Chains A and B, each alone.
Chain A
Amino acid sequence: MKRTVFRSRWLPYALVLPQVAVTIVFFFWPAGKSLYLSLFKSPPFGGRDVFVGLDNFRSLLVDHEYYESVVNSFVFSGGVTVLSVALGLVVATLANQKIRGLGFYRTALLWPYGIAPAVAGIIFLFIFHPAYGVLPYFLSYVTAYEFNWLLKGWVAMTLVIAATAWTHLGYNIAFFLAGLQAIPESVMEAASVDGASPVRKFTSIIVPLISPVTFYLVVVNMVSSFFGSFGVIHAVTHGGPGGATEIMVYKAWKDGFIGLNLGSSATQSVILMAVVIGLTMIQFRFIEKKVTY
């Protein structure tokens, strides 16, 4: 892999300059500033920052609302991940059969990926609409339970999870299909010869062999629903009802931009940084194992 072919004193620096400039100005400097601000208390309308050490972290630790937003975040991204990865695997396994029209099915299952979670959220908002939505209407035949997301926190959570999972599903199906096509034909044939039923083949062969892909998708779906779901919350529930769908990302923005509590917002950003570093580490730890396809 000896590759250095060209020589120039300045050219490589000029080539990396645009990327490095963007990285420093918009990533490293602001992230460093978040770290700095998390140790200070800043008056919202100017004035001098006061060093407070870990006070911002301490006050978050005892803040009941913050604790709730942490739980909400994990419920939300856990829900999205389980729903979209599990469904993705089942649907991809079905589509991976030797049947005609695989290309058609792949396209027909993949396109929701193009829809912004916020837009998907608005569509699901109407499907879940307590007065006019199609879902509460049909549920009212089954149960008298009032399926109202404006009043019941768990219904609102279900709404945003369903909308987000809908947009993630196609991505997962595409990955599972790529992974499934790499499972050797001979293994499946051997199972058939041994008289394994389709269900048995799924649980004993496909699930274990596809597990590196599954693991990868779990991490990716976790990260993207944890950090990429500001839009669906902002567009649909505004964190409500009663903070039931207020996830950490939304709260960090709200406390900073609406509440003008810069120190607390920066501290929440720092905690989010720890979460994303952890998740990225896990992802790259296992990336060597992601060799099945």
Chain B
Amino acid sequence: MADARATTVGTDALAAPRVGTAERVAERRQRRFPWGSLVVHAVLLACVAVIAFPLYYAFVISTQEMSEVIQKPPRLLPSTYALENYAEAWRRSHMGRLLVNSTIVAVAVAVGKIAISMLSAFAIVYFRFRGSSLVFWMIFITLMLPIPVRILPTYEVIGNLGWLNSYAGLTVPLMASATATFLFRQFYLTVPNELAEAAQLDGAGPLRFLWSFLLPLSWANVAALFVVLFIYGWNEYFWPLLITNTEEMRTVVIGLERLIPRSGTELPTWNLIMAGAMMALLPPVAVILFMQRWFVKGLIESDK
């Protein structure tokens, strides 16, 4: 994802809105409010702390023994049982399998959405064909048909295809994407027409043009979309719950729920549940942290 070309294109694209940073720095030097900004820092750090607290608390609990978890007053400092807890939570929830499934689903959904959206946006922008506006409207209308408006019938379709408890069932139906299609369409419209004409003069066909010209130009968009869509795929709950019912095919966000006993007789092992939660949330949060430049770009541009 982060090869050299992607990085340069990404920087160029992102540098555009930041024009004027130099002026701002100069201004900042002129007018100084040391007290004011100290207060702002304090308030902001407080916000950061409040937002981080639930995660910190989950981490703390995940490192404690059950006797520490239930003690009063609550112990808000990490303990030394992290290794045992994480190993036990891993074993009990078959975490390895869950994480593999989630990774497969998230990557396949993200790549699939990007690929089919790129192709249809290319067709809509660079060809004139009968029904192109019908296609455009069909893609648009999928925005108004989220899973809850077609629960049982979609389940039936998946069943008829024999796709229950399969990776195909988990991924293919999620691959239509109006937002990604609009994003690519928008991007292609900003590419100068001369580029396509020049490519054509040089004898490049449409697919060659898409592969060798448009794709390299759109790496920054692809990276941004990938991050946003990966997180979407990883965190999807309704769909995997609907079409899987075996241990092996569960993804991590729904597998986690199984760590919580629902019968009254069993005491929930909260330290293990929190260890499981930490493992389920770490990959998408890490993706945000390590790819945050693209993530912000993807969020703002894809408008969800």
Besides the known contacts A1-B189, A116-B235, A174-B300, 15 further A-B residue pairs in the complex with CB atoms under 8 A apart: A7-B127, A18-B115, A20-B138, A31-B153, A34-B152, A37-B153, A97-B40, A110-B292, A115-B55, A117-B235, A230-B148, A231-B253, A234-B257, A252-B151, A256-B152
Are A12 and B17 in contact (CB-based, < 8 A)? no
Are B74 and A137 in contact (CB-based, < 8 A)? yes
Q: Looking at chain B, what size class is its interface with the partner chain?
A: 35 or more
Q: Please tell me the number of chain A residues within 8 Å of chain B, measured between CB atoms.
A: 96
Are B281 and A3 in contact (CB-based, < 8 A)? no
Contact of B145 among A18, A31, A119, A166 (CB under 8 A): A31
Nearest-CB residue, chain B, relative to A271: B149
Are B237 and A16 in contact (CB-based, < 8 A)? no
B42-50, B78-86, B92-100: which lies at the A interface? B42-50
Are A262 and B152 in contact (CB-based, < 8 A)? yes
User: Which of chain B's residues have a CB closer than 8 A to the CB of A1?
Assistant: 189
Are B148 and A11 in contact (CB-based, < 8 A)? no
Given contacts A37-B152, A123-B277, A230-B237, contact A6 B126 (CB under 8 A): yes
Q: A113 an interface residue at 8 Å Cβ cutoff? A: yes
Are B138 and A235 in contact (CB-based, < 8 A)? no
Nearest-CB residue, chain A, relative to B175: A22
Q: A95 an interface residue at 8 Å Cβ cutoff? A: yes
Q: B124 an interface residue at 8 Å Cβ cutoff? A: yes
Q: A222 an interface residue at 8 Å Cβ cutoff? A: no
Are B197 and A5 in contact (CB-based, < 8 A)? yes
User: Which of chain B's residues have a CB closer than 8 A to the CB of A24?
Assistant: 138
Contact with B along A96-124 (1 / 0, CB 8 A): 01110100011111111111111110111
Given contacts A30-B153, A94-B43, A174-B300, contact A116 B281 (CB under 8 A): yes
Are A8 and B270 in contact (CB-based, < 8 A)? no
Are A231 and B237 in contact (CB-based, < 8 A)? yes
Q: A131 an interface residue at 8 Å Cβ cutoff? A: yes
User: Which of chain B's residues have a CB closer than 8 A to the CB of A234?
Assistant: 237, 241, 257
Are B176 and A23 in contact (CB-based, < 8 A)? yes
B contact set with A: CB distance below 8 Å: 17, 24, 27-28, 36-37, 40-41, 43-44, 47-48, 51-52, 54-55, 57-58, 61, 69-70, 72-74, 76, 115-117, 119-120, 122-129, 132, 135, 138-139, 141-154, 156-157, 172-173, 175-177, 181, 189, 193, 196-197, 200, 205-207, 209, 231, 234-235, 237-238, 241-242, 253-254, 256-257, 260, 270, 273-274, 277, 280-281, 284-285, 287-289, 292, 295-296, 299-300, 303-304
CA distance A110 to B122 in the complex (A): 33
Given contacts A108-B48, A137-B74, A256-B151, contact A25 B157 (CB under 8 A): yes
User: Which of chain B's residues have a CB closer than 8 A to the CB of A124?
Assistant: 54
Contact with B along A202-240 (1 / 0, CB 8 A): 000000000000000000100010011011001100000
* Tally of contacts, chain A with chain B, CB under 8 A: 293
- Which of A3, A120, A253 is most buried by chain B, counting CB atoms within 10 A of its CB? A3
CA distance A113 to B138 in the complex (A): 29
Given contacts A33-B153, A280-B143, contact A98 B70 (CB under 8 A): no
Nearest-CB residue, chain B, relative to A167: B235
Given contacts A22-B175, A28-B138, A33-B156, contact A235 B256 (CB under 8 A): yes
User: Which of chain B's residues have a CB closer than 8 A to the CB of A280?
Assistant: 143-144
CA distance A82 to B57 in the complex (A): 25
Given contacts A22-B173, A114-B285, A122-B256, contact A272 B149 (CB under 8 A): yes
Nearest-CB residue, chain B, relative to A112: B51
Given contacts A99-B40, A99-B41, A126-B58, contact A111 B285 (CB under 8 A): yes
* 13 sample A-B contacts, Cβ–Cβ < 8 Å, listed by A number: A8-B127, A15-B120, A16-B120, A30-B153, A98-B27, A105-B48, A106-B292, A114-B284, A118-B257, A166-B54, A175-B300, A235-B257, A249-B148
Q: A196 an interface residue at 8 Å Cβ cutoff? A: no
**How far, in Å, is B201 (CB) from chain A's closest CB?**
11
Are B73 and A119 in contact (CB-based, < 8 A)? no
Are B44 and A166 in contact (CB-based, < 8 A)? no
Contact of A29 among B76, B157, B289 (CB under 8 A): B157
Contact of B151 among A99, A118, A269 (CB under 8 A): A269
Are A118 and B148 in contact (CB-based, < 8 A)? no
User: Which of chain A's residues have a CB closer than 8 A to the CB of B206?
Assistant: 6, 8, 11
Contact of B125 among A3, A115, A134 (CB under 8 A): A3
- Which of A23, A166, A228 is most buried by chain B, counting CB atoms within 10 A of its CB? A23
User: Which of chain A's residues have a CB closer than 8 A to the CB of B197?
Assistant: 5
User: Which of chain B's residues have a CB closer than 8 A to the CB of A119?
Assistant: 235, 253, 256, 277, 280-281
Are A34 and B149 in contact (CB-based, < 8 A)? yes
Q: A143 an interface residue at 8 Å Cβ cutoff? A: no
CA distance A226 to B124 in the complex (A): 32
Given contacts A105-B48, A111-B285, A252-B151, contact A134 B57 (CB under 8 A): yes
Given contacts A6-B200, A114-B287, contact A105 B44 (CB under 8 A): yes
